[in-house]
Amino acid sequence: MAEQELTPDTTATRSAIDWPRIQAISGLGFAVFLTPHLGATVSVVFGEAAFIFVQHAGRRIYQIPLLELGLVTAFVVHFVAAWHLAQPASASAPPCRDLFAVVRRRSCLGDPGRVPGW
């Protein structure tokens, strides 16, 4: 069976909200958060003084309440988007239990075809 490409017409019936895009944006927020934290961990390779310097420099940024609120919000939005993506495409369809399919955005969307850009 030939693979069909998902188009806006086939995905629009599922929801008016673009959950995959929302989840991608919230995932980008996690990546922005994770990068300096991993960098701080790697700085220990350069010695204790480098690690302490990076920790002190990072605390000025890490502990801004608005950024912490943004991180918690990104987590909640990411979770809600994942929940919506795991829901069946129709009321008669069984819920998707394959988490890897949700990540690949394939069979859980009701169409096993190729997702554009993947």
What angle, rounded to 10 degrees, do the helices at 48-62 and 19-42 form?
150
**Interval 62-102: pLDDT, tens:** 788 888 888 889 999 999 988 888 876 666 655 555 556 55
Residue 70 forms part of a structural domain: yes
Residues 43 and 68 grouped into a single domain:
yes
Residues 57 and 38 grouped into a single domain:
yes
pTM for the full predicted model: 0.55
Q: Which residue has the tokens 């922005």?
A: 32
| Two tokens, residue 27 | 């995932």
Residues 69 and 30 grouped into a single domain:
yes
